[in-house]
Amino acid sequence: MDKMELKALGKINLGLDVLGKRPDGYHDVRMVMQTIYLYDQITITKRKEPGIGLSTNLFYLPVNENNLAYRAAKLLMDEFEIRSGVDIFLEKHIPVAAGMAGGSSNAAAVLYGINRMFDLGLSTEELMKRGVSLGADVPYCIMRGTVLAEGIGEILTPLPPMPRCQIVVAKPPVSVSTKMVYEKIDSRRIVEHPDIDGIIEGLKEGDVTKIASRMGNVLEQVTVEEYPVIDKIKKLMDEGGAKGAMMSGSGPTVFGIFTEKSLAKKAALKIREAGLAKQVYVTNVHNARRK
């Protein structure tokens, strides 16, 4: 195989709780992750000359070691002493610095692709073990689907799939520093923790309304204080008939869960017309796991 086309899918958090800060600077979290059908298209092509040639449609993204896709390729090519090289093209659609694990999912897809392309014979578990050195969300992005993520995000327990529904994703035109959000959450006492167990119950019952009503993200308040536009988008989603609307990850992306496509489309249009976000998508959940 000399060329591979891969879909690197984004995620939302149906629930995100922070349990505390660890001595190594990471945070212990408890998150319900959900893959959605919004993706970056990744093309990997073998070439004779050694090295990694990375390019992307977004001029402002790094195309060197600072790009997670590059680091993922380098990790496997160094370990397995691959003498030839690869060209990687990232066609980005997942909003950047948005709380949707765009970079992590690119890294996951590249690990998966290089393993296949060069017949390295690594199992999914072995890829996930290597992935965590690139980022806490990378193992999840390799696994995909509905998952409880604990530890720093790398201890994964598969959950029953999110029932079919429409997801409206809206990324307001602000970039959030994940580091800043976690620093702020460290400086305050968390009074109210999201009901992660309630979300899991809803998943077990296959009840979208229950899942949506239990959703919670402990980081939301911190990011909203900085960017009130998040609350405005949530409000439009709620008014538009969402079963629930919440910020994903450290933000600023907001997603809404709808059971009717016509309502989802209307809400997306309203958000765009109100000028709250340009990057607005109507999509579905994606439950298939990587084998």
User: Is 11 assigned a catalytic role?
Assistant: yes
How would DSSP label each residue in 23-47? TTS-EEEEEEEEEEEEEEEEEEEEE
Q: Which of 101, 114, 211, 237 binds ligand ATP (CB under 6 A)?
A: 101
- Min dist CB 140 to ligand ATP, Å, is 10
Binding map of ligand ATP across residues 220-249, x = CB under 6 A, - = no contact: -----------------------------x
Task: Tell me: is residue 149 an annotated ligand-binding position.
Answer: no
Q: Could you give the CA distance from residue 144 to residue 29 in angstroms, rounded to a whole number?
A: 18
By the rule CB under 6 A, 138 interacts with ligand ATP: no
| Both structure tokens of 15 | 């629930």
DSSP 150-186: ETTTTEEEE-PPPPS-EEEEEE-S----HHHHHHHHH
d(CA 87, CA 107): 14
Residues of this chain, 102-131, that bind ligand ATP according to CB under 6 A: 102-104, 106
35 binds ligand ATP per the rule CB under 6 A: no
CA distance 213 to 244: 6
Whether 62 has a binding-site annotation, put simply, is no
Retrieve residue 21's tokens: 């800060």
97 vs 174 by CB, closer to ligand ATP: 97
107 is in an annotated binding site: no
CA 47, 289, 61, 71 torsion-angle sign = negative
Helix (H, G, I), strand (E, B) or coil at 194: coil
> Rounded to 5 degrees, what angle do the CA atoms 52, 56, 62 make?
70
28 belongs to the catalytic site: no
Strand 85-91 and strand 254-258: the pairing is: unpaired
- 4 part of the interface to ligand ATP, by CB under 6 A: no
* Residue 25 CB neighbours (<10 A): 9
For ligand ATP, what does the binding mask look like between residues 55 and 94, x meaning CB under 6 A?
------xx---xxxx--------------------x----
In whole angstroms, how close is the CB of 153 to ligand ATP at the nearest point? Answer: 9
Nearer Cβ to ligand ATP, position 69 or 245? 69
* 100, 114, 264, 267: residue in contact with ligand ATP (rule CB under 6 A): 100
Judge whether 95 and 253 are in contact, CB under 8 Å: yes
133: annotated binding-site residue? no
Q: Least distance from C-beta 204 to ligand ATP, angstroms?
A: 26
Under the binding rule (CB under 6 A), the answer on residue 9 touching ligand ATP is no
The reply to whether 174 sits near ligand ATP by the rule CB under 6 A is no
Out of 17, 137, 171, 243, pick the active-site residue. Answer: 137
Write down how long the chain is: 291
Q: Which residues bind ligand ATP (CB under 6 A)?
A: 61-62, 66-69, 90, 96-104, 106, 137, 178, 249-250
Residue numbers annotated as active site: 11, 137
Q: Which residues are annotated as a binding site?
A: 95-105
Q: Which residues are annotated as a binding site for ATP?
A: 95-105
